Structure 1
Amino acid sequence: MISGFLRCGRVKESLWCFERNPFQNVVSWTAAINGFVQNGLDLDAMKLFRRMLESDVTPNDVTFTSVVRASAHLCDSGLGMSIVGLIVKFGFEHNTSVCNSLITLSLRLGEIDFAQRIFDRMEKRDVVSWTAIFDMHVEMGNLKEARRIFEDMPERNEVSWSAMIARYSQSGNAEEAVELFHRMVQDGYYPNRSCFASIINALANLKALQSGKNIHGHVSKVGLEKDIFISSSLINFCLLYKPSILRCNCHTNSNKFF
């Protein structure tokens, strides 16, 4: 009932149930704390967490994931470091979900080195871990390290592919962007809007007319031509040529990217 009320945003009702629950345990405490965080009541979540500790209830991994997320939302470095101390005290410093939350907290606070140390010491990493430490190096513009992590990732998704291609395109590494786009398509990943916009910009830099026409034909076929990011990229591409060039024969090879 506590979780149900909080999922519906009914905070008062959930607290009423929680306070009158004669069998309060880590599950009920965590449900209330997590619900507060999901409803944007991060300070209330931290107050409830303090009450939980004062009641001698031992937190679990879900509890710590929730309070770390609350700390990140509050952007309180002192609070965040206090939580880290408790995580170590209760033996959750190697828990994958907790570490992922700590990486997010560190990045939110601008603690880049700390985020990297957490990642390096993780005994088990999942796609969230890899993606977080990868979106970090990409944002920093550290392309060499970002590419190394990208290649080491055991599992990639459209977000990681698109982020790497976008950064290459934005930094003037058009050939690398095109090469990676080829690999993405060959590996069976479908480009998202951001990826299409990035590759169009890269092709414009390379003055690759035929490939640009193929991409234009494809985005038209799937109805993405009016997307604001894609249309802006297409306009920039068209400025290199007569506008009529891309309008003609746009159906040619429209099932192929290149």
Structure 2
Amino acid sequence: MIYGYFINGRVEDAVRFFHEMPSRSVISWSSMINGFNQAGKSDDALVLFRQMLSCGVRPTSVTFSSVITACANVRNLHLGVKIHGHVVKLGYLSDTYVTAPLITFYAHCKDIDSCCKVFKEKMHSSVVVWTSLLTGYSLNCKHEEALEVFADMFRFGVPPNQSSFTSALNSCCEVEALDRGKEINGAAVKLGLETDVFVGNSLIVLYTKCGNIYDGLSIFKEIAEKNIVSWNAIIVGCAQHGYGMWALILFNQMIRHGVPPDDITFTGLLSACSRSGMLDKGRCIFDFVSRYGSVKVKLEHYACMVDILGRGGKLNEAEELVRSMPMEPNTSIWLALLSAYGVMFQESEG
């Protein structure tokens, strides 16, 4: 019942139901703590955990998993370390439900040494634990170490899952290791994950960031069930490398498939118009964003539009747009306007 309330966003009903229970088992307490985490109320989860202890209820590995996750969410290193101590005393350290969240907790708190210590406590065969360490390295910008962990998973006979592949590909993307990314792509094909949307999205970002637009498009076509991230990744990738018309064609396909665009979609489209010198199309898209009810015009959209106008020699129009903005211009806006002045100066000098 508690789970049902939380999964439907009825947090207050879950709290009321919990307090009206004549007796509360450790399962009830753990469900509430986990529910608070899922609802973005990790501080409340930790308060409830303290109440649970004061009531003499002994935590289980599931309880500790949720509590450690709460500590990670609020970056409470001091409390997390204390809970780690309780985990050791109660003999839960070898439990996968506890080990993986502990590694993630230390990673979120930027204590990568403790991540490694927890991982090395025993030989792990769980892909979840291995992926926690891999992702922890990636979160702390230690991408070479992350890729080494990914390679070790194969050496120690732990087949990676979609999360493992996604983290490894993100690390490849950060260091622009295209060749290693292609090797990981090959491994994904062997494990039947080439059509997985999460793995595919990461591959699109990697290939397009490294300039391999055709490979990115090929991966995009192979994804079985594309989501908004898939469409945005390929549209932004095309925009970054001057394939403006391709970005617009993909956007039309996106609409035909019934996928509603978001602010990232429109940033990609405006960027495509800017880099490809499509002034009129840029105007139409910006006007569409302004009228599109579910997407609010953001600073990124204004910056792109100022850049489009500047590249198109419409300096007065760019200045007027900046003056009419409903929010304070940021650095990107001023840089775009300065760039427009630079273009005009170069043309007058020429």
The TM-score bracket by the shorter chain reads 0.7 to 0.9
Aligned to 2:94: 94
Unaligned ranges ≥5, structure 2: 247-350
Q: CA deviation at 1:111?
A: 0.8
Query: What amino acid maps onto 1:6 in structure 2?
Result: F
Q: Does 1:230 align with 2:230?
A: no
Give the conservation status (yes or no) of the 8 Å contact 2:65–2:101: yes
Distance 1:28 1:133, change over 3 A: same
Distance 1:63 1:99 in 2: 13
Deviations 1:66-109 (A, max 9, x none): 11111112211111112112212222122111111111111111
Equivalent residue, structure 2, for 1:168: 172
1:185 alignment counterpart: 189
1:215 & 1:14 partners in 2: Cα distance? Answer: 45
Following the alignment from structure 2 to structure 1, what is the Cα–Cα distance between the partners of residues 77 and 205?
37
Structure 1: unaligned runs, 5 residues or longer: 205-211, 245-258
TM-score under structure 1 length normalisation: 0.74
Change (3 A) 1:50 1:159: closer
Residue 142 of structure 1: how far off its partner (Å): 4.1
Matches within 5 A, 1:19-168: 19-153=19-153, 154-168=158-172
Is residue 196 of structure 1 aligned with residue 204 of structure 2? Answer: yes
> Structure 1 runs of 4+ off > 6 angstroms?
221-224
Q: Over residues 192-226 of structure 1, what are the superposed CA-to-partner deviations in whole Å (9 max), with x where a residue is unaligned?
A: 1220231244464xxxxxxx6566466468798x9
CA distance in 2, matches of 1:201, 1:16: 49
How far is 1:30 from its partner? 1.7
Say if 1:181 and 1:199, in contact at 8 Å, map to a contact too: no
Structure 1: distance between partners of 2:9 and 2:235? 39
Q: Could you give the per-residue CA deviations for residues 164-190 of structure 1, whole angstroms, max 9, x where no partner exists? A: 345335434333333443343344331
In structure 1, the residue matched to 2:261 is: none
Letter in 2 for 1:49: F
**Largest Rg, 1 or 2:** 2
Q: Which residue of 1 aligns with 2:326?
A: none
SS at match of 1:24: coil
TM-score w.r.t. length of structure 2: 0.57
| Structure-2 separation of matches of 1:43 and 1:20 | 22
Q: 1:86 to 1:147 in 2, by over 3 A?
A: same
Tell which deviates more after alignment, 105-114 or 159-168. Answer: 159-168
What do you get for the CA RMSD once the two structures are aligned?
Answer: 3.2
* Percent of matched pairs sharing the same residue: 27
Going from structure 1 to structure 2, the CA distance change for 1:33 and 1:183 (only over 3 Å counts) comes to closer
One-letter amino acid of the structure 1 residue matched with residue 127 of structure 2 = V
Name the CA distance, whole Å, in 2 between partners of 1:162 and 1:29.
33
Comparing 194-203 with 76-85, which one deviates more in the overlay? 194-203
CA distance in 2 between counterparts of 1:18 and 1:58 reads 18
Q: Is the 8 A contact 2:150 2:164 kept in 1?
A: yes
The Cα shift of 1:61 comes to: 0.9
**Residues 200, 219 of structure 2: 8 Å contact kept:** no
- Paired residue total: 234
Q: 2:241 & 2:13 partners in 1: Cα distance?
A: 56
- Alpha-carbon distance change, 35 to 235 in structure 1, aligned in 2, over 3 angstroms: closer
Give yes or no for contact 2:5–2:13 (8 Å, CA) kept in 1.
yes
* Aligned mates of 1:166, 1:29 — CA distance in 2: 36
Relative to structure 1, is the Cα distance of residues 6 and 89 closer, same or farther in structure 2, using a 3 angstrom cutoff? same
